[in-house]
Amino acid sequence: DNAMRKRILSIMLSICMVLTLTPTTSFAVAGTSSTPSVSAYATKAQMMDGTFAPKVDGTATNIGKLVFGKNNSRQAQEWYILGQDTGVAGDNTIIFAASPIATGQTFEAVLLDGKRDAKKKNVTNLGSDCSYSVTAPTEVYLNHYGASALRDKLQTMATTDTAYFTETEKVMMNETTVTTKDTNKGVDYTTTDKLYALHGVKSETKIYAGSSNQTALATDSYWNVENDYLWLRSPGYETGDSGFHDSCLVLYADSRNDVRYYVVVAGFDVQPASNLNLSNVLFASAATAATTSNPEVSGTIASGTAMTLRLDGSSKNIGSVLYNTTTGDIKATKGGTERTVSLVVQGNDGTDDWYYSKKITGTETVNTDAIKSALGITSDIDLSSCKIWLEFFNASDNHQSGDGMIYAVNAEKEIEKINTTYATKEQLMNSFRPYSDGSAANVGKLVFGKNSEGKAQEWYILGKDDGISGDNTVIFAASPIVEFKRFSSNTSGAEYDGKDVYANHYGASDLRAALRAMTDGTDTTYFSAFEKGMMNETKVTTKDIKDGTTYTTEDKLYALAAEKAGYQPIKAGSNDNKVLNQATYWGTSGFDFWLRSPDASDNSKALAADPGSLNLGPSIQGETVSSDDNTIRPAGNLNLTNVLFASATEPSSDGIAADTIPSDKAMKLRMDGSIINIGTVSYDVSSGVIVASANFITPIVF
């Protein structure tokens, strides 16, 4: 009958949606360019790993240099990159001066009479500056590095003297603890400084850097400078007839030969080692950026040119830059900074490293044809092989102060716009990913679970979290899942993991407990058992302002994070790398919602996001933890292993349904139905006929 026929047709339409083909994607033809040489562009990881680390024999596969600080002639000082020192905490790299930072420096300024006698000097409070396993001595030989004029010089360079390093550069220099022999006492001692002289062994053609003298540097690779004699910290000893007692002798590196010894009052070069904190570094590059006086520059980069560090400028309002490999377009937009912002593109034509840079004043598009013309090359440029970024030089001038460092933001590949009412699994993972400025090419939503009022809960799709294995996507509640909830009812503090914490500690909060209750146990108020099974746990890191540390929590739902109160985006994901700006994701109206981050200025407050503050005031504010005026808009992560696609269509359960779909309508996930034998569907392009067959039902052609 008619009713049965309509029901069957409705089933056929549903099958069509489940078995539909994936939309096709076009691909650009790759250019002939290649990635820049590692000696002209190096990531933070490359500066730490084995890329530049010398081998056991002191040679290296790759030699790279950095510009950092100045020498005593007030010229830029260059340093060899030597890789991470595991004896120093955090992201770091050892660096060794590629040329003297100072010359004519004595190891010890005074040499007492009587060359054959042991030469000692009295010292006070040596134990406060040198660490001994025994009682620190009150007198030492003249070749004692810890009490030497050479060490005094190095300490002054890295602390009170402003001629060699800026204050920001000094902060970037980690202290390194090194061990040296006290030949008078016959024991080792340690010193801890930001600059230190290297270790040597007499007659070797290698010298050693690092906290454990683990990094060997061969003469030909690292210190083969003509007529260069550089002080080491290791005491010397006589093997011939120098006419001096061993107490007066120190090892030095002879660039033409090997490690030798000489008397402490000689005026030799200073080529120290140091360690750089790379925690705020994006990369290093030898490219030249455009300036106000030179608004467009380009050229090749000579082999051996030292690189300059680019620091993370994500909080500096530099702007954003997108590139499209299909069209060859680079779209750069300057942010709100008053600094001169430059677009920089760096590549390699197969032979030479090259760069192109243009000053950006608003929003500008640069095509690869313009870059080829500026460089005078004919080969195609593949933007996916290039390094592209925006930067500014944070210099001091008559208008504003600066730290003298370069800050940058990396370019992002432009995401193709899609229909946000239908998304494949791949698109759920890749096409909805926010850009680093918190905006997005595609904004899409999913219906998943229910809110506290029993209504369907909608979530923004944020793309794959690389910190979680398998096919997945991060989701963020598009509206409150719960209204009017306290962060914590205990304003005096709490206990977490066996220790006392402040009231704004997320791990011990009522907020976290409420989120865990939604996904744990048998309660299906918010999510069905099947939905709970689809939710991955996400490990996130949060600050504990009471002891100045961080801790991690791992849950299926979690509150988002923010850096601090003020005009800030909020962040989701296991590494807080899903940046969400207010205009795109959390609106211009509605109730405040809790974040997991504490207010660093008040231990009774946690941060909350204020959707109603757009253009009116700070978007992130500290609010008392006991306030019950705030809502909950958490993030989660969905396991997409068994998902085919998502669609905003609403198949009729009875009869035929047809209608237009609003562009902002939330989609629902469609799971893989092949294992439950739904049926089959086929179509003929030429005739426009779709044949659908439900299992155990006679096929119908329509």
* pLDDT at site 412: 97
8 A C-beta contact, residue 108 and residue 149 = yes
Count CA atoms closer than 13 A to 267's CA, side-chain side: 3
**Quick check: 544 pLDDT over 90?**
yes
Cα dist. 45→278, 281, 283, 575, 660 in Å? 9, 10, 9, 17, 50
Distance CA 363, CA 477 (A): 32
pTM here is: 0.83
**Quick check: 11 pLDDT over 60?**
no
**Quick check: 225 pLDDT over 90?**
no
pLDDT digits (tens, 9 = 90+) for 631-659: 999 999 999 999 999 999 988 777 788 88
8 A C-beta contact, residue 600 and residue 590 = no
Average pLDDT over residues 342-356: 96
* pLDDT at site 124: 87
Count CA atoms closer than 13 A to 694's CA, side-chain side: 13
Distance CA 462, CA 377 (A): 40
pLDDT digits (tens, 9 = 90+) for 251-294: 999 988 899 999 999 999 999 999 999 999 999 999 999 999 99
Residue with tokens 């005491």: 235
Residue with tokens 């140091």: 274
Name the residue type at position 361.
Answer: T
Beta bridge partners of 42: 284
List alpha helices for 414-509, DSSP H. Answer: 425-430
Q: Tokens representing 486?
A: 């306290």
Distance CA 578, CA 505 (A): 22
Q: Tokens representing 445?
A: 């939503």
Name the average pLDDT for the chain: 90
* pLDDT at site 566: 86
8 A C-beta contact, residue 193 and residue 145 = no
Count CB atoms within 10 A of the CB of residue 602: 17
Count CB atoms within 10 A of the CB of residue 674: 10
**Quick check: 380 pLDDT over 70?**
yes
Residues of the chain above pLDDT 70, percent: 91
Q: How confident is the model at residue 660 (pLDDT cuts 50, 70, 90)?
A: very high
* pLDDT at site 159: 96
**Quick check: 676 pLDDT over 90?**
no
Average pLDDT over residues 336-364: 96
8 A C-beta contact, residue 655 and residue 12 = no
Cα dist. 58→63, 271, 284, 600 in Å? 11, 17, 23, 47
Q: Tokens representing 60?
A: 């290296």
**Quick check: 14 pLDDT over 50?**
no
Work out the burial of residue 690: count CB atoms within 10 Å of its CB; fewer than 13 is exposed, 13-18 middle, 19 or more buried. middle
